[in-house]
């Protein structure tokens, strides 16, 4: 600040000094120029009076004048000149000042020399006999005068700038010193200039506001720690680079971490695939729910993004112990026979492959192929179990029935984006026609319904086929519709496709890994939302399924 004040004062002094010198030079030059012209007028009047009294004899006896005197006849010829032979001089009738004197009685003009260094002022006056008397004097121009006094001017300017430098330095320090002594914690107690008192008052008010906000933040922090510390659920908050910002006691207990892990990557807590996927999804700005095994317990993880104005700033992870809940769900299944039948095929395959490998009947080079078969069958088994769990929860109303105002178009767009990669593997195009439509419903169930319909449309489609997803309002009712160009459903079997584990083409379903529960989940979801389902299908043409709310 001192340097800025110093530079400002120095620049102001320099500019004012230079401007003052220039103005003084100009004023003095203008004053003396006008004075000289006035004296020239007086001198011309005196000489004119002498000529009219004594004629040319007056001019010949005139020796004290420093001006050039020229007497011009009525025809413009020169009768007398104080510096040159009049007989050798050219006619002056067309000289501007002479012509003006002939016409108006007087004429005046100033001419610059060829070098612009001198200026000659001519003043002409008409005498009573019609002749013209011209008197002139030569002076230096303003530029010439400035150049003549340039050296002393520079010396004066340098001395003045040195003096300004010293004074500006001292003054700037004296201005800043009291400000530097201000205690920003107690600014109103400082003894400073009256001009900055309002600023110090504002700083004091700001300090009080900051202290109040800090107290509120500290109170909120303690309340947050008290609440989260007593939660049974594990809570972890991370920033956008996966660094841990906060962990409650349950999270430390679950992951075996401590306060020393704050600031480390959240992936140091667990390398579980589902855990990592949820964290990454949340940091991309997407909500994510999944389950993971930690030890012998099953946890549901809910990952939610923490968004700022334009970007995701971090994520909040909440983990629930759902071991007992899953166990109860497993015991309460009402369709054990169907489940056993459907589980038999993948389990038999897994058991058979595993037995062959364990007894050494498989060549070493064939082991990866058998392991891949075991993996595929296990994945099929996992998919089946997940569908059964979903259906059982719908049967027993075990889903979260808290309803929300759902934007069908937004949810459909989100589901379609998740299915694009699956469709791309079979070169299937997904086309959307999404108009605004809203339904009061359960978001999770609605998402599963959309997912199963679009998933079936892809699975049972032809290579390079097309799926059209539509959201619209028809006759006042919100409608979600999925249309495909797939293999179609025979007319005699269209009534049974919503039964559990029913498959139109069992061989095709086995190839694509279907469980036969997708449309059952859709049916139960529609019942939950008091909606009806319409199905239209034609073999080798395609199928259209509409949910009308």
* Per-residue tokens: 351: 């058991």
Residue 153 backbone class (left: φ over 0; alpha: ψ -120 to 50; beta: rest): alpha
Would you say residue 109 lies in a domain? yes
Place of tokens 């001019």: 59
Domain containing residue 9: 2-148
Higher pLDDT, 9 or 313: 313
Residues 319 and 405 in one domain: no
Domain count, the chain: 3
Q: Give CA–CA dist 291/277, Å, rounded.
A: 11
Would you say residue 155 lies in a domain? no
Name the strand (E) or helix (H) holding 139.
strand 132-140
What mean pLDDT is predicted for residues 141-157?
70
CATH number at residue 137: 3.30.450.20
What mean pLDDT is predicted for residues 500-526?
64
Among candidate residues 104, 132, 148, the one where a domain is terminated: 148
Residues 409 and 532 in one domain: yes
Residue 283 has pLDDT above 70, yes or no: yes
Residues 24 and 106 in one domain: yes
Among candidate residues 124, 148, 172, the one where a domain is terminated: 148
Higher pLDDT, 220 or 317: 317
Residues 316 and 419 in one domain: no
What mean pLDDT is predicted for residues 157-172?
79
pLDDT given at position 478: 93
> At how many degrees (to 10) do helices 443-459 and 518-528 cross?
150
Would you say residue 494 lies in a domain? yes
Place of tokens 């202290």: 211
Contacts of 488 (CB under 8 A, 6+ apart): 537, 538, 539, 540, 541, 542, 543
pLDDT tens, residue by residue, 387-403: 666 656 665 554 556 78
What mean pLDDT is predicted for residues 51-61?
76
pLDDT tens, residue by residue, 359-418: 776 777 767 776 777 776 676 667 666 666 665 666 555 455 678 898 999 998 998 898
Would you say residue 537 lies in a domain? yes
pLDDT tens, residue by residue, 435-468: 999 999 888 788 888 888 888 889 888 888 999 9
* Per-residue tokens: 379: 């994945």
Q: Give CA–CA dist 541/543, Å, rounded.
A: 7
Q: Cite the beta strand spans of 308-369 per DSSP E.
A: 312-321
Would you say 406 and 440 are in contact if contact means Cβ atoms under 8 Å apart? yes
HSE-CB at 537 with a 13 A cutoff on CA atoms is 24
User: Phi and psi dihedrals of 182, rounded to 5?
Assistant: -70, 130
pLDDT given at position 526: 84
HSE-CB at 502 with a 13 A cutoff on CA atoms is 13
Among candidate residues 271, 293, 327, the one where a domain is terminated: 327
Place of tokens 């009291």: 178
Would you say 489 and 543 are in contact if contact means Cβ atoms under 8 Å apart? yes
Contacts of 493 (CB under 8 A, 6+ apart): 504
HSE-CB at 116 with a 13 A cutoff on CA atoms is 3
């Amino acid at each position: 600040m001192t340097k800025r004040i110093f530079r400002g004062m120095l620049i102001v002094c320099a500019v004012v000094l230079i401007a003052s010198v220039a103005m003084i030079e100009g004023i003095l030059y203008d004053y003396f120029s006008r004075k000289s012209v006035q004296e020239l007028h007086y001198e011309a009047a005196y000489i004119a009076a002498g000529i009219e009294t004594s004629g040319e004899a007056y001019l010949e006896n005139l020796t004290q004048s420093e001006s050039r005197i020229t007497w011009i006849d009525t025809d413009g010829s020169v009768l007398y000149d104080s510096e040159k032979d009049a007989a050798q001089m050219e006619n002056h009738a067309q000289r501007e000042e002479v012509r003006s004197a002939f016409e108006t009685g007087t004429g005046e003009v100033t001419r610059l020399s060829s070098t612009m260094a001198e200026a000659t002022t001519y003043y002409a006056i008409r005498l009573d006999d019609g002749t013209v008397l011209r008197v002139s004097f030569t002076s230096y121009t303003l530029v010439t005068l400035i150049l003549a006094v340039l050296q002393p001017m520079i010396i004066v300017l340098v001395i003045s700038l040195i003096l300004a430098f010293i004074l500006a330095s001292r003054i700037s320090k004296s201005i800043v010193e009291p400000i530097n002594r201000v205690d920003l914690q107690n600014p109103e107690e400082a003894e400073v200039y009256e001009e900055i008192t309002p600023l110090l008052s504002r700083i004091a008010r700001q300090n009080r506001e900051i202290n109040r906000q800090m107290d509120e933040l500290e109170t909120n922090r303690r309340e947050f720690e008290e609440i989260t510390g007593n939660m049974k659920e594990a809570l972890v908050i991370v920033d956008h680079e996966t660094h841990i910002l906060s962990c409650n006691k349950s999270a430390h207990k679950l992951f075996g971490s401590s306060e020393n892990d704050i600031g480390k990557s959240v992936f140091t807590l667990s390398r579980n695939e589902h855990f990592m996927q949820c964290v990454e999804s949340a940091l991309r700005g997407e909500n994510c729910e999944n389950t993971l095994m930690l030890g012998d317990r099953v946890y549901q993880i809910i990952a939610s993004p923490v968004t700022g104005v334009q970007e995701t700033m971090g994520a909040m992870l909440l983990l629930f112990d759902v071991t007992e809940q899953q166990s109860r769900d497993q015991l309460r299944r009402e369709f054990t026979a169907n489940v056993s039948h459907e589980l038999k095929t993948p389990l038999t395959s897994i058991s058979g492959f595993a037995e062959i490998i364990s007894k050494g009947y498989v060549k070493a080079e064939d082991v990866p192929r058998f392991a891949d078969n075991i993996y595929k069958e296990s994945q099929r088994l996992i998919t089946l179990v997940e569908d059964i769990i979903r259906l059982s929860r719908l049967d027993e109303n075990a889903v979260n029935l808290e309803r929300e105002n759902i934007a069908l178009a937004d949810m459909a767009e989100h589901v379609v984006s998740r299915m694009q990669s699956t469709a791309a593997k079979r070169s299937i195009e997904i086309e959307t026609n999404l108009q605004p439509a809203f339904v009061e419903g359960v978001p999770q169930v609605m998402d599963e319904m959309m997912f199963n319909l679009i998933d079936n449309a892809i699975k049972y489609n032809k290579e390079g086929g097309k799926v059209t997803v539509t959201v619209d309002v028809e006759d006042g009712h919100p409608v979600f519709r999925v249309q495909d160009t797939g293999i179609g459903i025979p007319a005699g079997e269209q009534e049974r496709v919503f039964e559990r584990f029913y498959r139109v083409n069992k061989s095709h379903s086995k190839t694509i890994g279907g469980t036969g529960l997708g449309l059952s989940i859709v049916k139960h979801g529609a019942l939950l939302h008091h909606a009806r389902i319409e199905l239209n299908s034609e073999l080798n043409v395609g199928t259209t399924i509409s949910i009308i709310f």
